[in-house]
Amino acid sequence: LFGFRAAGKSYVMARAPMGFTLSCPAMHAITHCLAQEAARDAKFFAYVDNVRFVGKTPEVVKGAMDRFLALCKDYSITVNQDEAISPHETSLFLGQVTDLKQKTVKLAAKTVDRLAKWKEKCHRALSADQVMELAGLIGWASRVLRVSLPSYYIVIKFFRRRIASGAPGAPWPCVSEPLARWLDTLIRNDPVPVRAAQAPTDVYLYTDASTIGFGAVLVRRDTILEFSHRFERSRTAPEINELEMEAVRRAVSYFADIIKTASSVTILVDNTSVAYALRKGSCYAYRLSEQLAEAHREITNASGRIPWYVDFIASSENLADPLSRGKPLTLFSSQQSRLGARKTSIQTRVLVPA
């Protein structure tokens, strides 16, 4: 039984998800939500035998803990007080340490020690089970520290191939260096800010690509800016996923000065593969993964610590669709109403082909 109370409501998970596929993402989602809630208004934290208390002052936390212990005594509930800790400013839960004062999260010391031990032996021959264990640990730690996965595409490919084949063996020669660099990044364990709940989006960036060109539309309050680029020659349809990812990268680069001043950015695409890859941070196709890494770097450089999100929309809702096909931007009345933007406020900025 797993339960917690936050924002005046009680939550319970009657059956905790277990198993290699679901448990890590599910537990990370829980710890992330708890960290968000704790960072909102809590300053101190205490722990008694898997029961946690948070509050703004040590007195509030200790009072709640004392009342809980008295209740346990009244109902003859056994409590392991040897594992109890007094109120302090950090919270350790499922391998994640949340600093309530600095509003940051990082990996627990035991997790860092496990990563360090893996670095010592990861160049040796590994069984499929060992590769699965290493992949799960690295993937989970990267989610906590928000390490971008596209740069480690070849390592992820090695993990996937070795687990699928079930054959033991040492990492491929091209995997050793990026795997060691990935582990070093995680072992360094730099604290990252707790992400707040999604803030109202300040900037919407629509992007699209076709076989003849790119298009992008940036919407900010009552202003709409457009960007388009036409190819010197038509591209083939099988390249469309790569073209869509390149459209995102170019649009973010082009509007970087505006994005840097935003409070949050939502990127809207009508390609499911691109939307999924941008959200997940990795994909299986090699060329698309290279472009994904470039797009992530462009977004990170433009947004800094500004939160950014990715949403999938239908082609009929994508304002950039006509621009990618060499047609002028047209807003229907329903789109104008939804965006709160006036057709007369459109400012056209066209990128001249190199």
The pLDDT of 97-104, averaged and rounded, is 85
Tens-digit pLDDT profile for residues 203-218 = 899 999 998 899 999 9
CA-CA distance, 270 to 244, in Å (whole number)?
Answer: 9
**DSSP assigned state of 9:** E
Asked whether residue 198 carries a pLDDT value surpassing 80, the answer given is no
Tens-digit pLDDT profile for residues 294-332 = 888 888 788 776 778 888 888 888 999 999 988 887 654
Asked if residue 214 lies in contact with residue 246, where contact means CB atoms within 8 angstroms, the answer is: yes
Which are the contacts of 153, defined by CB distance < 8 A and separation ≥ 6? 282, 283, 286, 289, 290, 293
Percentage of residues of the chain with pLDDT beyond 70: 73
Asked if residue 276 lies in contact with residue 284, where contact means CB atoms within 8 angstroms, the answer is: no
Tens-digit pLDDT profile for residues 258-289 = 888 888 889 999 988 888 888 777 666 667 77
* pLDDT for the residue 180: 93
Tokens coding 239:
């390249």
The pLDDT of 132-160, averaged and rounded, is 84
Tokens coding 44:
């101190």
The larger pLDDT score, comparing residue 224 to residue 346, is at 224
Q: Which residues pair with 47 in a beta bridge?
A: 52, 85
* pLDDT for the residue 342: 35
CA-CA distance, 119 to 123, in Å (whole number)?
Answer: 8
The residue whose two tokens read 């709409």 is: 224
Asked if residue 307 lies in contact with residue 264, where contact means CB atoms within 8 angstroms, the answer is: yes
Mean pLDDT of the chain: 77
Tokens coding 157:
């490919």
* pLDDT for the residue 96: 87
Q: Which residues pair with 53 in a beta bridge?
A: 46
Amino acid identity of residue 68, one-letter, is: F
Asked if residue 265 lies in contact with residue 308, where contact means CB atoms within 8 angstroms, the answer is: yes
CA-CA distance, 287 to 289, in Å (whole number)?
Answer: 5
CA-CA distance, 222 to 331, in Å (whole number)?
Answer: 13
Asked whether residue 16 carries a pLDDT value surpassing 60, the answer given is no
The larger pLDDT score, comparing residue 307 to residue 41, is at 307
Asked if residue 271 lies in contact with residue 244, where contact means CB atoms within 8 angstroms, the answer is: yes
Which are the contacts of 20, defined by CB distance < 8 A and separation ≥ 6? 132, 136
Indicate the angle between helix axes 109-121 and 128-145, nearest 10 degrees. Answer: 140
Asked whether residue 1 carries a pLDDT value surpassing 50, the answer given is no
Which are the contacts of 44, defined by CB distance < 8 A and separation ≥ 6? 54, 55, 56, 57, 58, 60, 61, 87, 88, 89, 100
Tens-digit pLDDT profile for residues 121-131 = 888 888 988 99
CA-based R_g, the chain, Å = 24
* pLDDT for the residue 282: 66
Asked whether residue 186 carries a pLDDT value surpassing 90, the answer given is yes
Q: Which of 72-76, 213-217, 244-248, 337-341 has the lowest mean pLDDT?
A: 337-341
